[in-house]
Structure 1
Amino acid sequence: MSGRAALAFEEREYTAARLDALAAGLAGTLARRGVRAGDRVALMASNRPEFVVAVRAVWRLGAAVVLFSPSWKRGEAEHALKVTEPSHAVGDHPLLAGLMPMLHLDEEPVRPSNAAFPELAPDTDALLVFSSGTTGLPKAVRHTHASFGAAVRNWRATLELTARDRIQIATPPSHILGLLNIETALQTGAWMRLHRRYDLDLLLWTIESDRITVEMAVAPIALAIASHPELESFDLSSLRYIMWGATPVTPEIAETVTRRTGVGWVPAYGASELPVIACNPVSGARLDSVGRAAPGVELRVVSLETGEPAGPGETGEIQARSDSLMAGYLPAEATAAAFDGGWYRTGDVGHIDEGGWVRLTDRAKEMIKVRGFQVAPAEVEAVLHGHPAVADCAVYGVPDGANGEAVVAAVAADGPVDPGELIALVGDRLASYKRPSEVVLVEEIPRLPSGKVLRRLLKERHGSTAGG
Structure 2
Amino acid sequence: MSPKSKPAALEFEGRAVTRAELDARAAGLAAELSGTGVRTGDRVALMSSNRPEFVVAVLAIWRLGAAAVLISPAWKHAEVRHALAVTAPVHGLGDQSVLAELLPTRHLDAPVEPRADPPPDLDPDADAVLVFSSGTTGMPKAVRHTHASFAHAVRQWREVLGLTAADRIQIATPPSHILGLLNIVTALDAGAWMRLHRRFDLETMLSCIQEDRITVEMAVAPIALAIAAHPDLERYDLSSLRYIMWGATPITESVAEQVTARTGVAWLPAYGASELPVIACSPLGSSRLDTVGKAAPGVEIRVVSLDTGETLSHGRIGEIQCRAASVMAGYLPEEANGSAFAEGWYRTGDVGFVDADGWIALTDRAKEMIKVRGFQVAPAEVEAVLHAHPLVEDCAVFGVPHEGDGEAVIAAVCGHHALTEAELIESVGATLAGYKRPRHIVFVPEIPRLPSGKVLRRVLKERYGRQTQR
- In which range does the TM-score fall when normalised by the shorter chain? 0.7 to 0.9
Q: 1:439 aligns with which of 463, 466, 469?
A: 463
Paired position in structure 2 for 1:393:
none
TM-score using structure 1 length: 0.80
Distance 1:321 1:111 in 2: 43
Q: 1:93 aligns with which of 81, 96, 113?
A: 96
Q: 1:40 aligns with which of 37, 43, 56?
A: 43
- The count of corresponding residues between Structure 1 and Structure 2 is 399
In the TM superposition, what are the counterparts of 1:205-244 in structure 2 within 5 Å? 205-244=207-246
Q: 1:103 aligns with which of 106, 117, 121?
A: 106
Equivalent position amino acid for 2:263 in 1: T
Per-residue CA distance 1:235-266 (angstroms, 9 max, x = gap): 10000000000111111110011001100000
Distance 1:20 1:409 in 2: 52
Paired position in structure 2 for 1:28:
31
Q: 2:260 aligns with which of 239, 247, 258?
A: 258
How has the CA–CA distance of structure 1 residues 20 and 404 changed in structure 2, closer, same or farther, with 3 Å as cutoff? farther
Paired position in structure 2 for 1:4:
7
Greater mean alpha carbon deviation, residues 328-337 or residues 264-273: 328-337
Does 2:76 correspond to 1:73?
yes
| Bigger RCO of structures 1 and 2 (CA < 8 A, at least 6 apart) | 1
Contact 1:267/1:285, CA 8 A, preserved across alignment:
no
Distance 1:343 1:135 in 2: 22
Distance 1:124 1:193 in 2: 30
SS of residue in 2 equivalent to 1:123 = coil
In the TM superposition, what are the counterparts of 1:173-188 in structure 2 within 5 Å? 173-188=175-190
Contact 1:47/1:197, CA 8 A, preserved across alignment:
yes
Give the superposition deviation at 1:132.
4.6
Does 2:12 correspond to 1:13?
no
Q: Which runs of 5+ in 1 are unaligned?
A: 368-395, 411-426, 444-460
Contact 2:368/2:398, CA 8 A, preserved across alignment:
no
Paired position in structure 2 for 1:359:
361
Contact 2:318/2:352, CA 8 A, preserved across alignment:
yes
Per-residue CA distance 1:382-439 (angstroms, 9 max, x = gap): xxxxxxxxxxxxxx999596767488999xxxxxxxxxxxxxxxx9xxxx99693562
In the TM superposition, what are the counterparts of 1:413-432 in structure 2 within 5 Å? none
In the TM superposition, what are the counterparts of 1:378-389 in structure 2 within 5 Å? none
Paired position in structure 2 for 1:53:
56
Distance 1:405 1:101 in 2: 41
TM-score using structure 2 length: 0.80
Give the superposition deviation at 1:118.
2.3
Give the superposition deviation at 1:116.
2.8
Distance 1:215 1:256 in 2: 17
Greater mean alpha carbon deviation, residues 39-48 or residues 333-342: 333-342
Distance 1:219 1:141 in 2: 23
How has the CA–CA distance of structure 1 residues 242 and 90 changed in structure 2, closer, same or farther, with 3 Å as cutoff? same
Give the superposition deviation at 1:334.
1.3
Q: Which runs of 5+ in 2 are unaligned?
A: 370-378, 388-392, 402-447
CA RMSD of aligned residues (A): 2.7
Runs of 4+ in 1 over 6 A off after TM superposition: 406-410, 432-435
Contact 1:134/1:365, CA 8 A, preserved across alignment:
no
Give the superposition deviation at 1:336.
2.7
How has the CA–CA distance of structure 1 residues 81 and 245 changed in structure 2, closer, same or farther, with 3 Å as cutoff? same
SS of residue in 2 equivalent to 1:232 = helix
Give the superposition deviation at 1:304.
1.4
